[in-house]
Amino acid sequence: MDSMALISRAETAHELTQSELLQLLQDQHINDALFAAADRVRQKYVGPEVHLRALIEFTNICCNNCLYCGLQSQNRAITRYRMAPQEIFALAQKAVQYGYKTVVLQGGEDPFFTADILVPLLRQIKGLGLAVTLSIGERPRSDYQRFKEAGADRYLLRIETTDPALYEKYHPGMSLANRLRCLQDLKELGYETGTGVLVGLPEQTELSLARDILFFKQLGADMIGLGPFIPNPDTPLKDAPVPRLTPALKVMALARLLLPDINIPATTSMETLEAQGRFKALQSGANVIMPNITGEEERKNYALYPGKNASMPSARARRQLEAQLKAAGRPVSAGYGWHHKSR
């Protein structure tokens, strides 16, 4: 079938096969039509509103060694930090003052933050009336269960790539099977579960990206966060080719076509790559932004990739963003922005 026909069918049926996804990923003539279709599907299923989630990067200590990531344990070039639970709570209070309804607690896989430390903190933060998203990597199911019982609502764990050979190569000492186990546990425990991939890793093919998109659907993801891989000078992948935004936008748009009612952020890495990246993403299927409210000092050292520093700490910055979004016809939501399943 020709690519334009595939897009219009996917816009109503929300299905594409692996070979159809591959065709659309490879066809460079249909990109604008694909983005426009994803924009219409977003409008139809989740409306014009943008949900803001306050991101708190509370530790950059990580025991893993992912080859692309600046937080990898072997990187000696960054200063490591770990916020105390009461500092994290103070930031959550700030999030409430700024008008946020959700906080995202993100960190490296830091052994200090056991369930015994996190459970009381989660309960305390839930007492503020916030929705809480965790993004702290792979844990035993029993931890996920305790976090859920303490009130955690959502969990972000990117699969990064579903390609077994690439996964093993870029995640020494880790296994794709365990990552899949984690995602399965999170779904079963009733979390709104988010996953996603890096787009543009060396040796990643379009076929592999097509399979990634089918995986999102098969998992029944509630959220998909993805972005371009940006080479980090302090990592073994520092000499990888300079990334482009378009392939990541295409994967995102295709995810919107297949999973029409989910939440999809315009990610920081999209913004980092192109000044207008965030707005392009919002016009190609995205409906969420995650402003970073971590303090200046810590933020500098949460260096996943270069340029990731967008400053947005204040109430004023939030009002500016709201005004910009409103001018673009995208009001900021006053609600929690749950995933409302339409099918």
Among positions 56-75, residues that touch ligand 5AD (CB under 6 A) are 68-69
Integer Cα distance of 22 and 285 in angstroms: 19
Report DSSP letters for 307-334, one per residue: T------SHHHHHHHHHHHHHTT-PBPS
Phi and psi at residue 25, in whole multiples of 5°? Answer: -70, -30
Residue with tokens 């269960």: 145
> What residues between 186 and 215 interact with ligand 5AD by CB under 6 A?
198
Residue placing its CB nearer to ligand 5AD in the complex, 37 or 281: 281
Q: Smallest distance, Å, CB 200 to ligand 5AD? A: 9
Nearer to ligand 5AD, 125 or 198 (CB): 198
State which residue, 23 or 75, has the beta carbon closest to ligand 5AD: 75
Q: Which of 22, 152, 210, 230 binds ligand 5AD (CB under 6 A)?
A: 230
Q: Which stretch binds ligand 5AD (CB under 6 A): 12-20, 138-146, 228-236, 315-323?
A: 228-236
DSSP 111-151: TT--HHHHHHHHHHHHTTT-EEEEE-----HHHHHHHHHTT
160 binds ligand 5AD (CB under 6 A): yes
Q: Hey, which residues between 289 and 308 contact ligand 5AD (CB under 6 A)?
A: 304-305
Residue 232 as a binder of ligand 5AD (CB under 6 A): the answer is: yes
| Smallest gap from residue 208 Cβ to ligand 5AD (A) | 15
Q: Which stretch binds ligand 5AD (CB under 6 A): 169-177, 205-213, 225-233, 248-256?
A: 225-233
Binding status of residue 158 toward ligand 5AD by CB under 6 A: yes
Q: To the nearest whole angstrom, how small is the minimum distance from the Cβ of residue 141 to ligand 5AD?
A: 20
Helices 3-13/18-26 angle, 10° precision: 130
Measured between alpha carbons, how far is 57 from 82 in angstroms, rounded to an integer? 9
| Lookup result for tokens 């972005």 | 227
Would you say 299 and 292 are in contact if contact means Cβ atoms under 8 Å apart? yes
- Structure tokens belonging to residue 31: 């990109």
> For residue 301, with 0-12 CB atoms within 10 Å meaning exposed, 13-18 middle and 19 or more buried, which class applies?
middle
- Which CB, 23 or 272, lies closer to ligand 5AD? 272
227 binds ligand 5AD (CB under 6 A): yes
- The nearer residue to ligand 5AD, 132 or 290, going by C-beta atoms, is 290
Residue nearest to ligand 5AD (CB): 305
**Residues in contact with 114: Cβ distance below 8 Å, sequence separation at least 6, in sequence order:** none
CA 296 to CA 314: how far, in whole Å? 11
To the nearest whole angstrom, how small is the minimum distance from the Cβ of residue 106 to ligand 5AD? 7
- Residues in contact with ligand 5AD by CB under 6 A are 68-69, 158, 160, 198, 227, 229-230, 232, 269, 304-305
